Structure formats: C-alpha cells, structure tokens
Chain A
Amino acid sequence: AQKITQTQPGMFVQEKEAVTLDCTYDTSDQSYGLFWYKQPSSGEMIFLIYQGSYDEQNATEGRYSLNFQKARKSANLVISASQLGDSAMYFCAMREGRPGNTPLVFGKGTRLSVIA
C-alpha cells in the first residue's frame, strides 16, 4: 500500500482564490510527521509547512495551512489568496517514527496552476 496518496494529479485555481490539495497517509506508527514541499519548474524543493502527529492545532505558515484530520489520516494543504507564483508541483511527505533525522516518504505530487 502507498504510504502517501495524492489523488489530484492537477489542479487549477483562479488568482486570489483559496485551493485545497489533498493528501492521505498510511502508517501504524503513533508518532510521525507530515510535510508539504513546493517544487517550481526550476526543480528545487521548498519546504512549506510541517504537522506533527501529536500537535493538537493545525499548522499555519502565512498563506499556507494544514488541515490535519488524524482519524481520517488526511493532511490537506490549504493555500489562501493564490498567487501566480504558486504555480508549481506540490508534494506531501511523511516521516515515520519519533522525531529525528529520518528519511521522508513522498507522494506523487499535485501540479497546481494558478490562472490570472
């Protein structure tokens, strides 16, 4: 079974509107972390936001927020007030086990296109 599932290969959003990118995960660990990264066409991976499994509040970073629903094992990324520069690939990733330096497991990504 896939550890990280991103069911939307591509999404379109109008500039200044909000958009939700879906991510579901599969783990039997009680302690884990969830990450979202942005990958523009230039190729670099840019860290956006992190949610720990024991965090009681949804993470927020500027225009990014993470809608964490633990029982449903979902960690959707919400981008508010979309900008043209938000057009990129977005990857959801998970670190299993206790916090520390462990590899990430990535989903296949969602390509977001922001329309003027």
Chain B
Amino acid sequence: GAGVSQTPSNKVTEKGKYVELRCDPISGHTALYWYRQSLGQGPEFLIYFQGTGAADDSGLPNDRFFAVRPEGSVSTLKIQRTERGDSAVYLCASSLRRTGNNEQFFGPGTRLTVL
C-alpha cells in the first residue's frame, strides 16, 4: 500500500515569504506527527495530531508556525514570514496503534531552503 507522502519534495523561498508543506498519511492512521531535521541533527518534534485536533503542539518554535488537519487525514504545516533559520527538512510521520510500539512511518520529507 501507499506510504506517507509529502509535497513538495523541495521548496526554495525567500526570507519573509509564506510557505505550506503538505503531508498525506497512510490511510487509516489516526496519529500524525511533524518533525524538523536540521543538518547533522536528529529529527525534532514540532506538533502531533490525534484525529483532527492537535494533541501536542509544544514543539512549535514560535507563532510563525501553524499546522492543521481539518478532516483527520491530510495535514498542512504553515510557516509565516520565513527566516533563514527555518531551512531544514520537514518530516511527517503517521501511526495507527494506540498501544504497543506505535511504530511511526515517515514520509520522504520536504527540504525547505529559505534564501
């Protein structure tokens, strides 16, 4: 079956612009996560959805970052007034089980470059 997909795969923008990054989770997965991976680092948690609601948004760095998942499936991460420090790979993951190892399946990521 289809895995987690993310679009675009690459996004280059100018400082101060607005960007949207899209994530299509595995069908039926109730949980969706956004992570950010800077060069040479491990992924860092941003926000997590259980269904349509954000269950934990404690990882969002500031109010320029916002994410939605209106129908409990596709999610969009929105970044306003982008800064050069926002350049990173943005990873999306989804999971199904509420117990056990709740393995998270990751998408290929969106590489964001802010010039």
Contact = CB atoms under 8 A, between A and B. Distances in A.
Interface centre among A42, A47, A103 (most CB of B within 10 A): A103
Interface residues of A, number: 26
Interface string A29-52: 000010101000011111100101
A43 B44 contact: no
Given A52-B101, A95-B102, A104 B31 contact: no
Nearest to B93: A45
Contact of B44 (A37, A106, A109): A106
Contacts of A85: none
A91 B43 contact: yes
Contacts of B42: 4, 91, 93, 106-109
Contact of B106 (A45, A101, A102, A103): A45
A103 B40 CA distance: 20
A62 interface: no
Interface residues of B, number: 32
Nearest 10 interchain pairs by C-beta? A106-B42, A101-B31, A45-B106, A50-B101, A103-B45, A99-B99, A106-B43, A91-B42, A100-B98, A44-B108
B85 interface: no
Contacts of A4: 42
A41 B44 CA distance: 19
A105 interface: yes
A99 B100 contact: yes
Contacts of B31: 101
Interface string B92-112: 010101111111111111000
Contacts of A35: 101, 103
Nearest to A103: B45
10 contacts: A33-B102, A35-B101, A47-B103, A47-B105, A95-B102, A99-B100, A101-B98, A103-B33, A103-B45, A105-B45
